[in-house]
Structure 1
Amino acid sequence: MKKQIVAALAAGLVAGAVAPASADAVADFYKNRTITLYGAAGGGGSYGVYNRVLAEHLGRHIPGNPTITAQFMPGAGGAKCANFVYNAAPKDGSVIGMLLKYVAVEQAIGRKSVKYDVRKFNWLISAEPVNSVVALWHDSPAKTLDELRRIQVTMGSTGKSSETYVTPTLMNAFMGTKFKVVLGYKGTGAIHIAMEQGEIHGRAASYSSISGTRPHWLSENKVIILGHSGLYPDKDIPGVAPLATLAPPESKAVFEFVGSGSALGRIIVAPPGVPADRVAALRKGLEATLADPKFLADAKKRKMGVQPRSAAEVEALVMKTVNAPADVIARTKTIMQ
């Protein structure tokens, strides 16, 4: 018995020594170092705002208090940034990325631009769900769903992997709308400028990119909001229905599959291969930041949503998406490819 007690005490001392040593190793690594937070969207929209505010606060919640810099890598509807973080970024914890919500859907349907495997990312957290809305400029030639089935309107898009392309294309296929989608815009901010200048009639992108960067569009009735991409009613946009409830019954499963990305929302990842202790420190630091009163005050001032999901919850949603029924993936793929 005495030997067992001594052994247990020794094990406890070793365990107590290991945890601080690991924490010290993480702090030593991050001290006087910079973490780059890459964003998969342009700097002018809601993702840009979120990245910059997060970068202002995250460093003090990571051992060693590294400097956090926000950079932006839009392109290919978010695939450019995801591919970079997965393949080219240093795998030492000095790079993390805020990816677009369709990162798992794009892999599931076999998008050619996808050069990553979502099952191998180190998922860190989701800052909030992102419900995108179909928003038309107030002088659009069509202003209702019925009119959109008869009249063509032009929508701006950043690329085929993005919400800006996916939603109008699915609506054309399964709801009979006549959207003309123009590709090539460098971020949601550029699309918004094009709407204001009369170059295009609308866009499908996050609601917060309007409420956070162009709130006067709402107060001055500059836009008409027809539906949102989420699976459930959104308290921030009462009276606006989920597209899955507007779709014909035989197509509802497709809209729910695609809409699962809205639940993933603003997802933050580290590359594969980052040491486990640094991944744990990044997760803990992000959780603490998203609960930090100073961050929350800034988020409220900038009209940013904060509804975190843990890494485990995010990974479960990702796996559910990539393992969706084959027929649902096939139907979606025929439209989105």
Structure 2
Amino acid sequence: MKVFFSTLASVSAALIVSLPLAISASAADFSGKQVTVQVPSGSGGTYHVYCQIVTRHLGKHLPGKPTVVIQNLPGAGGAKSASYMANAASKDGSILAMIAPGNISGALLRKLKFDAREFNWLGSLAARGNGIALWHTVPVKDLESLKKTEVTIGSTGRTSAGSIFPLLTNKVFGTKMKLVLGYKSGGEINLAIERGEVQGRWNYYSGFTGVRPEWIEKKQIRFVLLFGPPNPATEGVPHMADLLKPGTPERKMYDVLAMDLNIGQGFYLPPGAPKDVVQAVHKAFDDMLADPATREEVEARRVEWSPLNADQIARELKRGFGAATPDVVQELQELMAQGKS
């Protein structure tokens, strides 16, 4: 089995940690503190894996070398975590979180209690190739047959990428995917697929290699359409961007939504974190990503390694939100309204 790893440019990011005790902004010293990395989902999936990796490697690079622990805050496809970070999290550098893709462009699609542009972005461990994947017993082999046969797709919530991209595919190509919402994590969706509750899901390729490698090895899951960054392991499967003509309304919608995928497993601090704290954790995050031990664990966990720094994330945000003209936003909002039933 081959797992795709690619290194993108220089990596700079800053992370902060959630803890019950306040951290002195002026000192930016975490000595004696407990730092928490918040996961925007339940356990059992690769969102949890990436946060575990940060939890295990960040502390030794932070000033004062604090203890770092992990905390799961699932709900609404990751929107519950992002809302907490924007409205309730400590602003003194005592908490950091990972974004669940789908919640960056989410502010354009529906009324949310956060705007991802206001977060203090630190960097991303990976922007991963992904797509619509179906269980091997489902009588749908490709995109064309997906237009003729209804299939059920498990998802955590309406604002998650697991809902947005199936809805976009239905709109653009006339496919017949029906969303089943409410799962707390990718791990729960995988169990639902095994039990026959749903027939497939949107997921990263490494979302399977990281927690269900046997599905790939035994060809128990098949991708029928791809999105986001390319992955050589899925060569031959059609990619939505290649099927849409640049400049068309459909391609513009994809370009806005793909912003989430091009940022990937991004970590951030809440709005209002002091500059000196952001800088201190930013350096620690940079050092963590430059540490060979971090990449070694990523590879051992069979997930992708394609980091972005904070400047690269800023460029993706500018490009994605810049493509969100009023007509495109209206189309996207109508698209999301289809997922309410």
TM range (shorter): 0.7 to 0.9
Code of the aligned partner of 2:168 = L
Counterpart-to-counterpart distance in 1, 2:104 and 2:259:
9
Identity fraction in percent: 36
Task: Tell whether the 8 Å contact from 2:135 to 2:220 is kept in structure 1 after alignment.
Answer: yes
Code of the aligned partner of 1:264 = I
CA deviation profile, 1:49-106 (whole Å, cap 9, x unmatched)? 1111210110001111111111111111111000001110111111000011222211
Counterpart-to-counterpart distance in 2, 1:92 and 1:124:
15
SS class of match (1:290): helix
Code of the aligned partner of 1:66 = P
SS class of match (1:212): helix
Counterpart-to-counterpart distance in 2, 1:278 and 1:90:
12
Q: TM-score, normalised by structure 2?
A: 0.87
User: How well do the aligned residues superpose, as a CA RMSD in angstroms?
Assistant: 1.8
Q: Specify which of 183, 187, 196 is matched with residue 198 of structure 1.
A: 196
Partner of 2:208: 210
Task: Tell whether the 8 Å contact from 2:25 to 2:93 is kept in structure 1 after alignment.
Answer: no
Task: Tell whether the 8 Å contact from 1:125 to 1:311 is kept in structure 2 after alignment.
Answer: yes
CA deviation profile, 1:208-233 (whole Å, cap 9, x unmatched)? 21011111101100011112211x53
Partner of 2:156: 158
SS class of match (2:273): coil
Which stretch shifts more, 130-139 or 241-250? 241-250
Partner of 1:140: 138
CA deviation profile, 1:126-180 (whole Å, cap 9, x unmatched)? 1110332210000013222111111111110100011111111111111110011
Partner of 1:17: none
Counterpart-to-counterpart distance in 2, 1:25 and 1:123:
21
Partner of 1:220: 218
- 1:241 Cα deviation from its structure 2 partner: 2.9
Counterpart-to-counterpart distance in 2, 1:326 and 1:142:
36
Code of the aligned partner of 2:237 = V
Counterpart-to-counterpart distance in 2, 1:72 and 1:241:
34
Task: Tell whether the 8 Å contact from 2:61 to 2:288 is kept in structure 1 after alignment.
Answer: yes
Task: Tell whether the 8 Å contact from 1:175 to 1:248 is kept in structure 2 after alignment.
Answer: no
- 1:248 Cα deviation from its structure 2 partner: 6.6
Aligned: 1:246 with 2:248: no
From the CA coordinates, give the structure whose radius of gyration is larger.
Answer: 1
Q: TM-score, normalised by structure 1?
A: 0.88
Unpaired segments ≥5 residues, structure 2: 1-23
Task: Tell whether the 8 Å contact from 2:207 to 2:303 is kept in structure 1 after alignment.
Answer: no
SS class of match (2:131): strand
Aligned: 1:83 with 2:83: yes
SS class of match (2:211): coil
Report which structure shows greater RCO (CA 8 Å, sep ≥6).
2
- 1:245 Cα deviation from its structure 2 partner: 1.8
Counterpart-to-counterpart distance in 1, 2:74 and 2:128:
17
Aligned 1:63-212 pairs, distance under 5 A? 63-109=63-109, 111-112=110-111, 114-212=112-210
Counterpart-to-counterpart distance in 2, 1:100 and 1:254:
19
SS class of match (1:333): helix
Counterpart-to-counterpart distance in 2, 1:75 and 1:49:
18
Which stretch shifts more, 264-273 or 250-259? 250-259
Counterpart-to-counterpart distance in 1, 2:95 and 2:181:
29
CA deviation profile, 1:98-133 (whole Å, cap 9, x unmatched)? 011222211122x13x20122321111111103322
- 1:46 Cα deviation from its structure 2 partner: 0.5
Task: Tell whether the 8 Å contact from 2:123 to 2:268 is kept in structure 1 after alignment.
Answer: yes
Partner of 2:265: 266
SS class of match (2:222): strand
Counterpart-to-counterpart distance in 1, 2:75 and 2:189:
13
Code of the aligned partner of 1:98 = M
Structure with greater proportional helix content: 1
